[in-house]
Amino acid sequence: MHNWLDIFHSGHTAFPLSDVAVKAAIALSTGLLVGFEREWANKDIGVRTFALTSLLGLLASFTGLPFNILAGAAVLILIVFLNWHSVQVSRKLEATTSVALIIVFLLGVLVGDGHLFTTVACAIVVTMLLSLKPQFHAFAGGLRQEEVRSAILLGLLGFVIWPLLPNRFIDRWGLVDPREAWVIVIVVASLGFINYVLLRLYGSKGIYPTAILGGLVNSTATVAEMVTTLPSTGLIKATVPVVLLISVAMFSRNLIILAIFSPHSVRSAILPLLAMSLIAVGWAYRERKKSKDVQTDGKLTLTSPISLKKVLTFAGLFIGIQILGTVAQRMFGSSGLQVISVLGGLVSSAGTTAAAADLVMHGKILAGEAGTATVLTSIASLLVDLAIVSKQIRDKSVVRDLSIASLLQAAAGIAVLVVQLKVFHRL
C-alpha cells in the first residue's frame, strides 16, 4: 500500500507534481475569472463550464496533438449547440460567449505549454473587454462617421505611408527629409486628434473647459466658433475670459510640441509663455463675474483635425515654413528665422513651432532660437484671435477689454523674452 502511495506522490518525470499543481491552479483561475463575468452577464454557460473548458485545454496539452484536436472539436460542438439553443430561444447568436469559450480553451492549452504570463494577462484583458460592454456600446454609439474615418486615416498615414517615404534629404540643399517631416506631421496631428476626442467627451461641462479643450485642438477655429456662439446665448460678456483661456491652451500645446521634438528649446520658451499665461488667467479670473458659466450643450462643433485635406495642408505648411526658415536663417541669421516665425503664426502656430523644433533636430539652428520662434509665433496667433473677435463682436467694451489683455500678454512675453536673451547673452 505504501509503495502505491509513494508512486502516486512522486509523480511522473515528465509531469512534476509542483509544476502540474501550479498549472492546474492557473488554468482553473483563468476559467473562473472569465466564467464569473459571463455568469454576472446572465449567460447560459458560466463559471463551471468555463473552468472545465480551461482544464480541458490543460489536459489536452499534456496528452499530445491528437487529443488537442479532439478536445478542440468537442469545444466547437458545444459552441454549436449553445448557439442553436440561443437561436431557438431568443433568436440571436451567442457570438461573444462562443469566442470567449474558445479563448479560454486555448489559454488552458498555453498553461500546459508553460506560457503562464501570457495566459494570465490575456485572461484579465478578456474579462475586462467582456465587462466593458455598456461603455463600448455607449462610446460606439456616440462616434461620428468622420471620427471613424479620421482614426483609420491616422493609422494609414502612420503605419502605411510613413515606411514608404525616403529616409534622406531629397534635395541637394538639405532642406526636406520626407520621412522625418512626416513623423512630425503625424505626431502633431495625433495630438490634435487626442485633444479633439477629449473635447467631444468633456466639451459639454461648461464654456471654460470647452474653451481650453478647443484651444488645444485649434485655437483660431475655437475663437471663431465661440464668438459666434456666445452672443447667441446671451453670454457675450464671457468672450474675454473665454478667448484668454483659449490662448493659454494654445501656449500649452505649442510648448508640448516643442518639448516632444526639441526638449532643450523649452528652457528659452517656457518663461515668456508662462508670463503670458499668468496674465491671461489672472485677467480671466477678474472677468469671470461678468458672465455666468453655463452648459454649452455641444454647441462648439469643431470638426475632426484629421482628414486627408487637413493633413496635407498642414504638411505643406510645415514643410514650407521649414524651407523658408532654413533659407531665411542662412541668409539673414536668427532675425530672418524669427520673421518667418511671426508670419507662420498668422496661419498656424503649431506648424511653425514644429518646424522650428525640426530645424533644431537637424542642427540648423540653436535650441534657444527655436524657443524664441515658438514665443513669437504664439504671440502672432494671439493677435490673429484678437482680430477675429474685433471683427465679429460689436460690443466695444468687450473688444476694448480683450485688446488690453491681449496686448499686455504680448508685451509681457516680449519683455521676458528680451530680458532672457540679454541674460543668456551675458552668460
Of the candidates 93, 118, 137, which is a domain's last residue? 137
Helix (H) or strand (E) holding 183: helix 178-202
For 353-372, give one letter per residue: b (16+ CB within 10 A) or e. Answer: bbbbbbbbeeebbbbbbbbb
Mean pLDDT of the chain: 83
Query: What are the Cα distances from residue 8, in Å, to 1, 13, 255?
Result: 11, 12, 69
Amino acid at residue number 71: A
Task: Work out the angle at residue 213's Cα, subtended by the Cα atoms of residues 211 and 217, and round it to the nearest 5 degrees.
Answer: 110
pTM above 0.75, yes or no: no
Domain region containing 30: 2-137
pLDDT of 296 higher than 50: no
Q: Are residues 47 and 186 in the same domain?
A: no
Cα-based distances in Å from 2 to 5, 15, 338 = 5, 21, 91
Interval 65-120: pLDDT, tens: 888 889 889 899 888 888 888 888 877 778 888 899 999 999 999 998 888 898 89
Which residue would you say has higher pLDDT here, 394 or 21? 21
Cell of 63: 496528452
Determine the average pLDDT of the residues in 226-249: 82
Q: What is the DSSP letter of 298?
A: T
Per-residue confidence (pLDDT) for residue 294, from 0 to 100: 45
Q: What is the pLDDT of residues 345-391, one digit of tens each?
A: 888 899 899 989 988 888 888 888 999 999 999 999 999 999 988 88
3-state secondary structure 129-177: HHHCHHHHHHHHHHCCHHHHHHHHHHHHHHHHHHHHCCCCCCCCCCCCC
- Containing 10, the helix (H) or strand (E) segment is helix 2-10
Q: Are residues 153 and 92 in the same domain?
A: no
Least confident among 45-59, 189-203, 265-279 = 189-203
For residues 333 and 215, state if they share a domain: yes
Weakest-pLDDT range from 44-48, 116-120, 286-290, 347-351: 286-290
Distances (CA, A) of 285 to 144, 165, 278, 288: 35, 48, 10, 5
Predicted confidence at residue 274, as pLDDT, reads 95
Q: Which of 249, 168, 167 is nearest to 210 (CA)?
A: 249
Instruction: Output DSSP code: residue 231.
Output: H
The confidence score (pLDDT) of residue 365 equals 87
Burial label, 83 (beta-carbon count in 10 A; 0-12, 13-18, 19+): middle
Polymer length of the chain: 427
Q: Are 67 and 99 within one domain?
A: yes
User: What is each CA distance from 265 to 135, 274, 330, 337, in whole angstroms?
Assistant: 41, 14, 20, 15
Are 205 and 79 found together in one domain? Answer: no
- Examine the domain organization and report whether 206 and 191 are in the same domain: yes
Q: How much is the pLDDT for 224?
A: 84
3-state percent helix, strand, coil for the chain, nearest multiple of 5: 80, 0, 15
232: Cβ contacts below 8 Å, ≥ 6 apart:
none
Task: State whether 187 and 301 are in the same domain.
Answer: yes
Q: Last residue of a domain, which of 92, 118, 137?
A: 137
**Domain termination site, one of 83, 111, 137:** 137
Least confident segment among 236-240, 275-279, 389-393: 236-240
- What pLDDT score does 298 carry? 45
The fraction of the chain above a pLDDT of 70, given in percent, is 88
263 & 295 share domain: yes
Same domain for 104 and 205?
no
pLDDT of 297 > 60? The answer is no
User: Over the stretch 177-233, which tens digit does the pLDDT of each residue have?
Assistant: 888 788 888 888 888 887 777 777 666 667 788 888 888 888 888 888 888 777 766
Residue type for 148, please? V
Claim to verify: residue 90 and residue 193 sit in the same structural domain: no
In tens, the pLDDT along 306-320 reads 777 788 888 888 888
**Is the four-CA dihedral 115, 121, 127, 129 of positive or negative sign?**
negative
Q: What are the CA-CA distances from residue 106 to residues 27, 52, 59, 237 (Å)?
A: 10, 12, 11, 63
Closest CA to 317 of 328, 306, 309: 309
Quickly state the pLDDT bin for 52 (edges 50, 70, 90): very high
Same domain, 153 and 81: no
Looking at the fold, whether 272 and 330 belong to one and the same domain comes out as yes
User: Is the pLDDT at 418 greater than 80, yes or no?
Assistant: yes
* Number of domains within the chain: 2
Between 191 and 283, name the one with better pLDDT. Answer: 283
pLDDT of residue 145: 74
